Structure 1
């Protein structure tokens, strides 16, 4: 389907190990095709509404669609495919089809963002069709019945919920659930398969290090780890999506409602992951306090904004109830990324990235920036290998 709001699209390929830099990255999406069941693609966004979470999906594992291009304000992140930069991002290991989208002139910023986001999703659907008739190398099954069925099946295992916080703060600070902006939802219970099947997509284009890309929603590592332990050490009840709002009233509403859902569903333990840092730290700790004070054991996954020397207070809020916290690393850690042989996009965009600055691009093409600017470097769903420890 042609989008008349797009002026030009450029395609390029970046392979693991090549001295290639991609900047400024907007989103990363995994190409897939639904071969059985309802809801191919991204219902509510690129295709008609359908219920996700059942059926069979063929995945082009190891491939990714990467969207790039300027929108407005701060401009997302960097992916380096080789050497020092490669170790800081999980997407140096994927074969990346880079889609550089230039909309027509005169679009307002919200429409501009929608055009870029939708084009990336459609590209993933189109590429995913290549896998429709392919015999899979591996078949993975993810299945959980109703809560009543699972509790009856595993009566002695602790009941665990996953609360996933989504950035929900305005233009370039949003997530979407079946096409609905997360700003507009109350905390919502999902079957974990819905998220793995494409119900949740990213509209977050500011803090590259800990944004949850659409690819990471499709492969949410917390969900996959909980599935791996389901029926063995715990009983995985489901996923609660919680918006991170900017107003105090909104924070109280969503945090109270999240805790209420966890109590109503009988959770013994809850894992809470954050998206972003700073303002959302307050939501993270508010949820933690409510759950712990209700007798529900709570584990938090976050990252730290601890300054270049790592000695600043890591979160914008604290709580004595936060006794089990997993760190995805320090977003302020400064890295030096060597010059690339080829840049896909605009290397000068580093000056307007969160984690970059005027002068971050040196004359020889070297980048000096915080991890803040590197896509997925301090993942708050554990989708990378970075952490921070106190010695």
Structure 2
């Protein structure tokens, strides 16, 4: 099969299975509303959980950073791209989350790939929750380490795998809050057997940092767990983009030497780091508490009104409405869009076959009337 034939066949298969992904350019995609051209929808697909992408202090910090540093970093952090803005953010993150060091990355995908690639050696065994993010599973599968996947949130399955002999090192991988189901990992119950086995724990808390735990410190703080590797991202509760790895002094120095994503990628703009720092101060302060309380009110309001709908049992901002069939999910998303609501249909391979869904995401930016209007539309569309 030639290259053009291979490409055409792959696309045809996606179209036939109704799993073809399509991008939609928008004027505004965060916050309470999504706008495209002259049309506007109530937005229930953004990960901007606390509405910080539109916060005046965060916007002003980026603008001030651009005036001070310019709009780019000029190189990798190992050359000229590591600024005082990056350094201040790393120090503040480490202090806030209770770690010796933090290292910034351009994205959560890059951070996960970098850590796995730098650590994995032949003979190692990386044991991941079956629903861990694609970036983690892909990184292990492309490394020299062996990948084992345990049943979702099953500590018994994890213990069984940890009992098996291994010639190398073991790393247990999970998420704090799972991105497609909205449920949380039993981190304390995962950390205990991991520690007993002499293995390390990596937690990707992209959807928990800033939202859960005391002062928004995330899933690990809420569970009283300090994994050897904590990944936080800035494109969700922080309202910006990028990521950081929290770890020990020695491991940070190791990653600076061997994490190719740090060495060979242009660093995030200093202005972006300055905006993230502004978002962090909001998250860690009284306003952050107010926003988290508002988000929890919105979550409870939706769940109280959705008792008759097939919502998954999620206590988080991610509220999956599981319908199973790809065509049904697409049709339901279209019906909601016609009624003024932007909700995306999530289909395989992002989720397992037969579990297509609408991934409803809530924000502190939503008003009670937004939630009530969505519930009314869902009840009509799901009849």
- Normalised by the length of structure 1, the TM-score is 0.31
Q: Which has the higher strand share?
A: 1
- Normalised by the length of structure 2, the TM-score is 0.31
Q: Which has the higher helix share?
A: 2
